[in-house]
């Protein structure tokens, strides 16, 4: 099969389209014929091996799995001996290891039937980013109707879903984005928009009940100044920081500080769960959640797509299509 392969950590220049062996599903896995795969910051981290501490899981000297891609949508080609929830021909979406390929393995527990009415491209834009936003706005961070929510990185893959979900829960949402993103963020449900190049998130009169810092690099004291005295901060992603720990150190400091202050400071490590996929599926099928696709790239142009992710500000998700 054709796949995007990477032999060493580094830039998008190392991504190559090659012929490789088709994977064989294990007993609890499904082999998916990939039709589309989502591209987000998590792929950049896997590609570069940053932060360095993550290589304990990703592979110390080179990627354990040389085929890139983390989420996708397609048709079931085959199922493992212990899989009873899916059969060949089913249209599915979810977490697929090595989804930048014509076929990929996936744990059955991390898949769900594709939402009716969504294209494969839209379905592929939903799993990683949608579940991350869903989990970020859960528990004490789930806003009550009328509460004020600030979403930083509101035009990106996770951010656009966080804006939609917070608005769906009845919150008054303020989205933070770059120049040119205001109309898109308002279309997701934000009542207010802050352009981070010209405005300070702490400069307005509001203090927010919930702050979702999606892949941001703002110091923890700045985020706390934007937060209400009893508010909840959720740090998503590990951008910025040192080469060794990236932004993970900021999240760790937040967790350690939380018991000492009135604010609830959380660091989110998203986990793929079928129950969350099913919740997103239900919202999408009922028209309550939209999967915004910024643009699509064919499999052979995956490196170009990653470069766009690195230097641009996609509005929604980038998606790789597989013919």
> How high is the pLDDT of residue 136?
98
Instruction: State both tokens at 316.
Output: 């929604």
- Point out which residues pair with 275 in neighbouring strands: none
User: Taking a C-beta distance cutoff of 8 angstroms, is the pair 266, 258 a contact?
Assistant: yes
Q: Per DSSP, what are the bridge partners of residue 103?
A: 33
Listed in sequence order, the residues at least 6 apart from 67 whose beta carbon sits closer than 8 Å to its beta carbon are 3, 4, 5, 6, 20, 97, 98, 100, 101, 104
Give the residue carrying structure tokens 């910051």. Answer: 41
d(CA 165, CA 276): 13
Q: What is the pLDDT of residue 55?
A: 75
pTM over 0.75: yes
Relative orientation angle of helices 127-136 and 157-168, to the nearest 10 degrees: 50
DSSP string, 120-174: HHHHHTSHHHHHHHHHHTSGGGSPPTT-EEEEETTTSHHHHHHHHHHHHTT-EEE
Q: What angle separates helix 274-285 from helix 127-136, to the nearest 10 degrees?
A: 100
Q: Are strands 317-321 and 111-113 parallel, antiparallel or unpaired?
A: unpaired
| pLDDT (tens place) for every residue of the chain, 323 residues total | 999 999 999 999 999 999 999 999 999 999 999 999 999 888 877 787 776 777 777 677 888 889 999 999 999 999 999 999 999 999 999 999 899 999 999 999 999 999 999 999 999 999 999 999 999 999 999 999 999 999 999 999 999 999 999 999 999 999 999 999 999 999 999 999 999 999 999 887 789 999 999 867 889 999 999 999 999 999 997 666 666 666 677 888 999 999 999 999 999 988 999 999 999 999 999 999 999 999 999 999 999 999 999 887 789 999 999 98
Q: Cα separation of 98 and 93, whole Å? A: 14
The predicted pLDDT at position 322 comes to 96
pLDDT of residue 249: 78
- Do 41 and 314 meet the contact criterion of CB atoms below 8 Å apart? no
Contact 213, 152 (CB under 8 A): yes
Closest CA to 285 of 134, 90, 117, 131: 117
Tell me, what's the pLDDT at 246?
63
Alpha helices in the chain (DSSP H): 41-48, 55-58, 120-124, 127-136, 157-168, 182-187, 220-226, 248-257, 274-285, 302-311
Q: Which residues contact 12 (CB under 8 A, 6 or more apart)?
A: 47, 303, 304, 306, 307, 310
The residues pairing with 214 across neighbouring beta strands, listed in sequence order, are: 236
Cβ–Cβ < 8 Å for 157, 130:
no
CB 210 within 8 A of CB 234: yes
Q: Which residues contact 1 (CB under 8 A, 6 or more apart)?
A: 19, 20, 21, 22, 101, 102, 103
């Amino acid at each position: 099969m054709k796949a995007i392969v990477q032999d060493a950590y580094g830039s998008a220049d190392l991504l190559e389209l090659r012929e490789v062996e088709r994977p064989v599903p294990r007993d609890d896995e499904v082999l998916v014929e990939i039709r589309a795969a989502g591209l987000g910051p998590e792929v950049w981290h896997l590609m570069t091996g940053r932060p360095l501490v993550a290589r304990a899981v990703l592979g110390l000297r080179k990627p354990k799995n040389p085929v890139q891609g983390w989420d996708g949508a397609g048709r079931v080609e085959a199922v493992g001996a212990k899989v009873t929830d899916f059969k060949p021909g089913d249209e599915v979406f979810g977490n697929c290891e090595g989804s930048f390929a014509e076929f990929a393995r996936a744990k059955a527990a991390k898949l769900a039937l594709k939402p009716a009415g969504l294209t494969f491209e839209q379905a592929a834009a939903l799993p990683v980013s949608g579940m991350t936003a869903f989990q970020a706005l859960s528990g004490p961070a789930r806003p009550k109707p009328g509460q004020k929510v600030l979403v930083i990185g509101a035009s990106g893959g996770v951010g656009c879903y966080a804006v939609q979900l917070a608005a769906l829960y009845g919150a008054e949402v303020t989205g933070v984005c770059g120049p040119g993103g205001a109309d898109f963020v308002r279309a997701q449900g934000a009542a207010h928009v802050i352009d981070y190049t010209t405005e300070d998130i702490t400069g307005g009169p509001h203090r927010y009940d919930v702050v979702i810092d999606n892949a941001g690099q703002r110091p923890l004291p700045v985020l706390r100044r934007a937060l209400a005295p009893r508010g909840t901060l959720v740090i998503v992603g590990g951008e910025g920081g040192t080469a060794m720990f990236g932004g993970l150190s900021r999240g760790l400091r937040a967790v350690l500080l939380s018991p000492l202050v009135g604010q609830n400071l959380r660091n989110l490590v998203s986990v793929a769960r079928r129950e969350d996929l099913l919740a997103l599926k239900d919202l999408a099928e009922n028209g309550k959640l939209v999967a915004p696709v910024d643009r699509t790239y064919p499999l052979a142009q995956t490196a170009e797509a990653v470069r766009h992710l690195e230097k641009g500000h996609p509005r929604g998700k980038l998606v790789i299509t597989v013919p």
